[in-house]
Amino acid sequence: MEPLREVRDGYLITLNIGTPPQEVQVYMDTGSDLTWVPCGNLSFDCIDCYDLKNNNLKSSSIFSPLQSSSSFRASCASSFCAEIHSSDNPFDPCAIAGCSVSMLLKSTCLRPCPSFAYTYGEGGLVSGILTRDILKARTRDVPRFSFGCVTSTYHEPIGIAGFGRGLLSLPSQLGFLEKGFSHCFLPFMFVNNPNISSPLILGDSALSINLTDSLQFTPMLNTPVYPNSYYIGLESITIGTNITPTQVPLTLTQFDSQGNGGMLLDSGTTYTHLPNPFYSQLLTTLQSTITYPRATETESRTGFDLCYKVPCPNNNLTSLENDVMMVFPSITFNFLNNATLLLPQGNSFYAMSAPSDGSVVQCLLFQNMEDGDYGPAGVFGSFQQQNVKVVYDLEKERIGFQAMDCVLEAASHGLNQGS
């Protein structure tokens, strides 16, 4: 079990790397494989990173390989080197490093793995060198853990722990990829609260029969184009309780002949993204059932598509949050294999600021999926996964969901110290 600390746009896991161990906090990301950390103290350069300047990233969040006696650079003959360069030809990184043909054939070249560049779906880019060092985890130490020692990034101010299915991912290197893991994300109200953490459970404990009996499972979709990602199929979305489900396009249910489509389960993306014209139809259906006045100014300012001014007597947001399912229609995701997830209260519309003058503006925290002919058709983001236990059963290749109070789940693991 590992605690996850909630910040504004994700969940942080603490890694202890090196000799002596250096503590680095990085985002947990099920949408990528590479684990990387900011390296080099003053030399770490984050381009166009407002968060870095605004939050004044502490030096304790930056790893210094010079301060670790067990740190060394990965060789180009390492399978991790070929993986991070994503080359069709595994000899390429070795050739770039200057290895001879005989060394290529024997995989004996010990030249350093060339620098890499790693990109993310929303335009993020990191550049660094593949490094190996001791990772000290609660259950075991990984003596030759492979990670990116990154000195330059674009739009990525904090490191990332990749939880994908690839060779480089954290679960893979910990030996949990044939088993699985689970998490229960705390809701937004606990952002930056040091007294409570979201539980992340790896291995057998996440998959015990007693814990999975009450979950609804949907099969993982596999494609050779994106073999390391977690894809599921969405069949429909139900608005309210007595309305016919809105059927989604086939692209959200299955892959096309090129291996694109499906719904990506991604803790590294904050909000759920859905493609047009389906997304527009969903907005139209919601508008037809909501009678509150639109808050168009907030829509323009925030970029969210549906915002409403909701009466909030005595400016008491707590009482309103308790009745939010009465305020707005419920939203239910219907996945393949008859797995349904009624989004918990607060996972669809959310208050943009404190109440004033007896009302509060709440916005739908869904977004339009950018048009594209490749990649996922939609993304199921971390905000919609709050107060939901999500189980990644990698042995049986299925994903399980169960709405629950993650505060109580945190308390059951000793992660709630009071607020």
For residue 284 the two structure tokens come to 């139209």
Report how far Cα 66 is from the mean position of its chain's Cα atoms: 30
User: Which residues neighbour 194 within 8 Å (Cβ) at sequence distance 6 or greater?
Assistant: 5
User: Which residues neighbour 411 within 8 Å (Cβ) at sequence distance 6 or greater?
Assistant: none
In the residue annotation, 213 being an active-site residue is answered as no
- Nearest Cα to Cα of residue 399 among 337, 332, 331: 337
**Catalytic, out of 29, 33, 133, 393:** 29
Amino acid letter for position 261: G
- Nearest Cα to Cα of residue 333 among 295, 384, 367: 384
67 and 18 Cβ atoms separated by less than 8 Å: yes
**Catalytic, out of 9, 48, 92, 266:** 266
- Nearest Cα to Cα of residue 186 among 408, 413, 419, 414: 408
Rounded to whole angstroms, the Cα distance separating 349 from 92 reads 49
Rounded to whole angstroms, the Cα distance separating 25 from 32 reads 17
> Does 293 sit behind a cis peptide bond, omega within 30 degrees of 0 on the bond before it?
no
Rounded to whole angstroms, the Cα distance separating 50 from 46 reads 9
In the residue annotation, 266 being an active-site residue is answered as yes
* Phi, psi of 374, deg, nearest 5: -135, 160
- C-alpha triplet 231, 237, 243: angle, nearest 5°: 165
Kindly list the catalytic residues: 29, 266
